[in-house]
Structure 1
Amino acid sequence: MTTNKNGQKKRLWDFEPVSKIKWEEKINQDLKGADYKSKLFWNSHEGFTAAPFYTQEDLQNLEHNAKKTIIDRTGWTCCEPIYETAPGDANEAMKTAIEKDSASFQIRSKSSWKSGMLGGDMYGTQIQKQADLDRLMDGIDTESVEFTFDSGMTTPALVAMMNNHPEKFNNPKFVFDPFTYIAERGRLPFDEKKLKEIVNQLVDQKNYKTLCADGLFYHRTGATIVQELALALATASEYLSLIDEEKKESAADEIFVRLAAGPLYFPEIAKLRVIRLLWDQLMEAYGFENPPKLTVIAETSKTNKTITDPHNNLIRTITESMSAVLGGVNQLMVHPYNTLESTPGNFSRRIARNIQYILRDESHFDKVADPSAGSYYIENLTSTIAKEAWEYFQTIENEGGVLQSLKNGSIQEVINRSKAEREKAVNQGKKVLVGTNYYANAEEELPDTIDAESFADSLELTDFEHDDSSEDLIQSLQNAFKNEATVGDVIEAMLKPEKVLYQVVEETRLGSVFDEIRLRTKSLSEETEIEPVVHLVPVGDVKWRNARATFSHNTLGCGGFKIDHPTGYDSIDEAAEKIEFGEADLFVLCSSDKEYEEFVEPFCDAFSDKGICILAGHPGDNEESYRAAGMDLFIHKGMDIPALLLNIQNDLFKIEKDHETT
């Protein structure tokens, strides 16, 4: 036992502090002189690099004051998504949730419009006229319940309906972001003069938060943490540039930021702290004397969610929720674990709701403001991410702002490059999605489809003729809805897209290709009554054969194939005697590179006429000779796994292949 000079057990403060230099000397000693910065620094692929360790000394040089908390409040609002499409059904769902202590809801109600169409479509809850909004809110205390409307370009219509509603609303939020409309569709939602007019009229709606800087959209399209932050800030800055000078500072309070609660636990905590630092810098840059505090809402990510082994989504959601709360989010919405495959039922909604309640009521995450303040690691992450995000924000500003950058296509190019890197990492197995591209569960029952389609219905039309010449859009919409007009009747006053001129970005879900392959195997097996079986043939060196058999099991299991995984064979002949052959077999030789030169030929002699022969490992210079012996495929780290699995599917299901050709 370690004791001090008085023979007493040493306490923490009795130990001499260890300097950063001494830590570095110890690390270099353990690495035998190798540069630890090149070996141990973490390239996060999120726009920043993190060191393997930090000390108190690292807090001294931070640009922000690590001794001062960034978040000066405790607690957050637990928000619940509403999926029902009929206003009456949505109303009942909210009342049921209110009985379970919910007091905040997000309602999706967005419209689309295309040239040559009459009206367009509405997605989500069908709030098409004043009666729909009134039915939605019937019997609900709108002054105590909070609402967030994911309403897009339909926002002016919903604002007008809510102004007509007899009850007041408790500071509702509207996800209105015309710049993400441009990024998603490659066109302006209306001309730039109209853009400025609508932004200025929306900020005149006091006690409503009507301008959303939607970083979540960019996260869903593949943006890094740094890009998500910079684009959210650039969007906020673009709003301020459009707002009339005399009301800029007061209008800043109408802006809020929506971000993702993503999968990287500590960086996500830092991200949510960073956005407040960046906001303060932006307010200072605009010279505001009494800048408002920033409102930040977040949602658990969908980019890392899967339909294969979907209960893993629960675990992912829990860590995402924790990082959001520790990062100081004002409002958090947790998606149920099965939103990809169906409209969530009572069970998955209850579990999603209870995740937040457990964090609040059992784990007491609402008792401390900025609990990560002072952490060497998180404070340094905060500083590093803030620096990188501010630099990218300045790049966007120097290009003329987010609108001009979207027109130029520079933002789209950056995001699409990041998206491609993410997808490549998942497809090569460098980024693991448990149960999807690694550790697949062959016994699970898969759904018939992947993404549950968002409900859409045509916009209703009446004989009402709306006068678009009014300078007060909101008031004219209020009058229209009082006269029983529909959103379809007035859509062109809010959404009249310009020509498609710009590059776009599309949402990504990283495990989707593996989900699709698994579903394809299921479908083809049912159609042809053929069940593919992968027979692993571990022989030779025990260490190598076990490692490669495990790798092969995990890789080929992602295709939905049944795996025969024996402990090992003493020889190829023994394997050939014991394996029971079927209609669609794959045989995988698992051994060491050195022994492959001995095993490949007898392996192919035994199995090449029985099915597909695969070698586990990179063949190197021996590829040509191994193929000549009868080896069909090679699996190894760094390969494109989906391409391999699709190739195997097409070889195994010859009936389907012929059918496709026909």
Structure 2
Amino acid sequence: MAPDAAAFDGDLFPEFTPTSTATWRDTLAADLGADWAERLRWDAGEGLTVRPFYRAEDLDGDVPTGAPGMEAGWQIRHDLASAEDPRRELHEALDRGADALGLPVERGNSEHLLRDLPADVNLAETALHLTGASPEDARRLFASADVDEPRGSLTFDPAARRFASDDFDADDGYRRLASLLRDEADRAPPFRLVTADARALHQAGAGPVASLALALASLSEHFARLTEERVAPETVARHAQVVLPVGTRFFIEVARLRAVRRLFTQLAEAYGADGDARLQVQAVTAWRATALYDPHLNLLRGATAGAAAAVTGGADVLAVRPHDAAQQNAPSDTGRRLALNAQHVLREEAHLSRAADPAAGSYYAEVLTDRLARRAWERFQHVEAGGGLLDELQRGAVQERLTEARGERQDALAQRERVRVGTTHYPNLGEERLGDAPERSERPPRETDAFERLRLATERYARERGADRPAVFLLPVGTPRTRSARANFARNTLGCAGFRAVDSTGFDAAERGARAAADAVEAGDAQLVACAAPDDDYASLLPLLREALGERDAPVLAVARPDALPADERDAVAALLYRGMDLLGTLEALQKQLGITQEG
């Protein structure tokens, strides 16, 4: 028998006594130690810290809940790989269940493309999102469309275009966009014409807070410039959309998409846009998080982490990049199919399309949304105080901050403080991708580029010599537990440069291990030796190894921190491997010792 909903008193579990926050804290202190709160606090960057848990009292006061304008469901978008001959891929995507298409029109072929395409697509049912397009491209589409209200959007952001190119005339861009809006204003909301495109900013290094702040600053420029061109603020608001790349930090991305709606509502009200205009949020899995090596992990990044976060955060349109997008001649047919099916799983099997705001009521998500929104609003006000986004771009202030942020992200990867599984951690040692790698100039940069150049250089070195990739002899000495852990660490760190591993079961006696390493080098089976021993054993192991190697030229490495070895022993090894090391710099130095050079 179904429960009587009218009799529900709000207590779902009356049998259980509520547990106070103080009790939780005392229990955690007893189990994890008095410093549990500090150790479990997460520094998410950009001045944002996240506590281990939140309770109902954290929502008291001025913390708003919910995200305005969220609706259940989303458009499954497929971005066509090429505008040269899109028809085959277009019909393939529609047959596989896409209900939105991203059409690139950067190549100057928009006139015939937009004239002929409506014959293949029912624009009343399938949304067409024009990327790299101009206001004139939208006019061409409207002129050829056989429906009064085509669905889709125009991704034309004069501020983002100015960021991408100093030669772009933003003033002229706003005049052309205003003319389009005055003529075609009634087409909203099925077709959005005012876009804040955060993709290039995100690619340049913007984190969650900065990308929100700069997207808001872009929308602010749109309101200001378009109203100067006699476009009503209500029209701007009704046409507004934002394009946000989503990464792999699930709750951060959920909060970011929820926060942008709240911030847009504040902004629209500040510009006097009356009514209940609803921001359209487009999400695309981030290009900078895509890796060349171990590409199937991109399925997990894009489909499991990024896509699930996007729909949980309330994206109206979502494009998932194919997992092999970083490869030459990509994406493949399999990559395109899996990218679409990932969204179908979220919609049809996980049923995430049935809830308007799945994260609503989560203390963690609500507080994180509020913190992100507040930090982004502060950053936005800083940009406005500098004259607005275009003025900040003109002075180079935005570019300088993003370059600094990108450098910090790259440094964190180089030191393994940030993880890219398959690239900086746990590489597939048998994988080779030299034949799949595109030319560096062909694609925008990605976060894993520097590590991938290391591995590609190692592969190229081996191919040019008709030999296997250089190998490291793992020399585990000491107790099995310690030597095994340190040998695994050496295997994984050196594998990030594409070095093969010559394994051994370990040696109880240092003399036997040193002799085995020397034999492997003598036979040409190994070109490096990595010692994996307890700190106290290095004083005896390293001299024995040097004696056994004699004149053989093989860099010797040790898994140990610098303060664990005497100065003379530190100077005698080519590199030390430890957590927090500059892994990228260490691997580059080892490659130089072996005569391996990178192209370009």
TM over 0.5: yes
Could you say which residue in structure 2 is the equivalent of 1:539?
Answer: 477
State the Cα RMSD in Å: 2.4
The residue that corresponds to 1:414 in the other structure is: 401
Equivalent residue, structure 1, for 2:40 = 40
Deviation at 1:191, TM superposition (A): 6.0
**Cα drift, residue 431 of structure 1:** 1.2
Deviation of 1:176 after TM superposition, in Å, equals 0.8
The residue that corresponds to 1:13 in the other structure is: 14
Partners in 2 of 1:608 and 1:434 — Cα distance?
38
Does 2:192 align with 1:222?
Answer: no
Matched, 1:101 2:97: yes
Specify which of 126, 142, 149 is matched with residue 130 of structure 2: 149
* Counterpart-to-counterpart distance in 1, 2:33 and 2:97: 58
Residue in 2 aligned with 1:119? Answer: none
User: Whole-Å Cα distance in 2 between the matches of residues 587 and 320 of structure 1?
Assistant: 40
The answer (yes or no) to whether the contact 2:237–2:278 under 8 Å persists in 1 is: no
Structure 2 residue runs without a partner (length 5+): 1-11
Cα shift at 1:652: 1.6
Q: Give 1:268 deviation, angstroms.
A: 0.7
* Offset, 1:623: 5.7
Partner of 1:613: 556
Letter in 2 for 1:653: G
1:563 counterpart SS class: strand
**Mapped partners of 1:387, 1:50: distance in 2:** 14
Displacement after TM superposition at 1:416 (Å): 1.6
Q: Which residue of 2 aligns with 1:502?
A: none
Amino acid at match of 1:426: L
Equivalent in the alignment of 1:325: 311
How far apart, CA to CA, are the structure 2 residues paired with 1:577 and 1:415? 52
- Structure 1 258/604 Cα, relative in aligned 2: closer, same or farther at 3 Å? same
| TM superposition shift of 1:397 | 1.2
Q: Is the 8 A contact 1:221 1:507 kept in 2?
A: no
**C-alpha displacement at 1:517, in angstroms?**
1.1
Residue of structure 1 equivalent to 2:144:
165
Please give the per-residue CA displacement for 1:53-111, whole angstroms capped at 9, x wherever unaligned.
111111213431x2x5645421000000101342xx2022112222222221001222x
- The alignment's TM-score, normalised by the length of structure 1, stands at 0.82
Residue-by-residue CA offset, 1:124-150 (whole Å, 9 max, x unaligned): xx524x333323343332332211111
Q: Secondary structure at the match of 2:192?
A: coil
Q: Does 1:401 align with 2:388?
A: yes
Counterpart of 2:9 in structure 1 is none
CA contact 1:265–1:320 (8 Å) conserved in 2: yes
Match of 1:466 in 2: none
Q: Residue 184 of structure 1 is aligned with which of 164, 168, 191?
A: 164
Structure 1: how far apart are the matches of 2:102 and 2:498?
A: 36
Decide which of 438, 450, 461 is 1:524's aligned counterpart. Answer: 461
Q: 1:507 to 1:180 in 2, by over 3 A?
A: farther
For residues 116 and 231 of structure 2, the distance between their equivalents in structure 1, rounded to whole angstroms, comes to 38
How far apart are 1:388 and its partner, in Å? 0.7
Matched, 1:369 2:369: no
Q: Structure 1 residue 308 and structure 2 residue 298: aligned?
A: no
Partner of 1:274: 259
Q: 1:38 to 1:197 in 2, by over 3 A?
A: same
- Structure 1 residue aligned with 2:527: 585
Which residue in the other structure is 2:594 paired with? 652
Match runs of 1:4-403 below 5 Å: 12-30=13-31, 32-34=33-35, 36-64=36-64, 66=65, 68=66, 70-86=68-84, 89-110=85-106, 122=107, 127-128=109-110, 130-151=111-132, 154-165=133-144, 167-168=146-147, 170-185=150-165, 187-190=166-169, 192=171, 194-204=172-182, 205-206=184-185, 207=187, 208-244=191-227, 247-318=232-303, 319-341=305-327, 342-403=329-390
1:12 shift after superposition: 4.0
Cα displacement (A) at 1:37: 4.3
3-state SS of 2:353 partner: coil
Q: Secondary structure at the match of 2:164?
A: helix
Tell me how far 1:586 sits from its aligned partner: 0.5
User: Deviations for 1:255-275, whole angstroms, at most 9, x for unmatched residues?
Assistant: 210001211011111111101
Q: 1:166 to 1:367 in 2, by over 3 A?
A: closer
Distance (whole Å) between structure 1 residues aligned to residue 370 and residue 283 of structure 2: 21
- Report deviation, 1:653: 3.1
- What are the Cα deviations for residues 524-581 of structure 1, in whole angstroms up to 9, with x where unaligned? 1010234311011111243332222111111001111110122311123212443433
Amino acid at match of 1:538: P
Partner of 1:431: 418
TM-score, normalization by structure 2: 0.90
- 1:479-502 per-position Cα deviation (integer Å, ceiling 9, x unaligned): xxxxxxxxxxxxxxxxxxxxxxxx
Query: How far apart are 1:291 and its partner, in Å?
Result: 3.9
1:574 and 1:376 mapped to 2: Cα distance? 58
Q: Which residue of 1 aligns with 2:6?
A: none
Is 371-380 or 404-413 further displaced after alignment?
404-413
Deviations 1:595-630, CA, capped at 9 Å, x for gaps: 2222221122223633111111123274640155x4
SS in 1 for 2:146: coil
**Cα pair 2:515 2:548 within 8 Å, conserved:** no
Contact map agreement 1:181 1:188 (CA 8 A) in 2:
no
1:383-431 Cα offsets, whole Å, 9 max, x none, are 1111111111111111111111212222222222211111111111111
AA matched with 1:97: A
| Contact in 2 for aligned 1:76/1:366 (Cα 8 Å) | yes
Match of 1:511 in 2: 448
Distance 2:30 2:139 in 1: 69
- Would the aligned equivalents of 1:262 and 1:268 in 2 still touch at CA under 8 Å? yes
Aligned counterpart, 1:4:
none
Counterpart AA for 1:39: R
Question: Percent same amino acid among aligned pairs?
Answer: 29
- Alignment correspondent of 1:459: none
Structure 1 residues 287-342: Cα deviation after superposition (integer angstroms, max 9, x where no partner): 32214100000101121111111110011112211010011100000110001103
Provide the C-alpha distance between the structure 2 equivalents of 1:524 and 1:447, rounded to a whole number of angstroms. 11
Judge conservation of contact 2:241–2:279 (CA < 8 Å) in 1: yes
1:557 corresponding residue in structure 2: 495
Shift of 1:27: 3.3
Q: Take 1:347 and 1:447, find their aligned partners in 2: how far apart are those partners?
A: 20
Q: Distance in 1 between matches of 2:38 and 2:401?
A: 26
Answer yes or no: is the 8 Å Cα contact 2:63–2:367 preserved in 1: no
Letter in 1 for 2:555: I
Q: Could you list the runs of 5+ residues in structure 1 that have no partner in the other structure?
A: 1-10, 111-121, 456-505
Partner secondary structure for residue 448 of structure 1: helix
* Compared CA separation, residues 408 and 63, structure 1 to 2 (3 A): farther
Contact 2:204 2:406 in 1 (8 A): yes
Q: Take 2:173 and 2:264, find their aligned partners in 1: how far apart are those partners? A: 23
What letter corresponds to residue 336 of structure 2 in structure 1?
Answer: R
Q: What amino acid is aligned across from residue 563 of structure 2 in structure 1? A: G
3-state secondary structure, aligned to 1:575: helix
Q: Is the 8 A contact 1:249 1:288 kept in 2?
A: yes
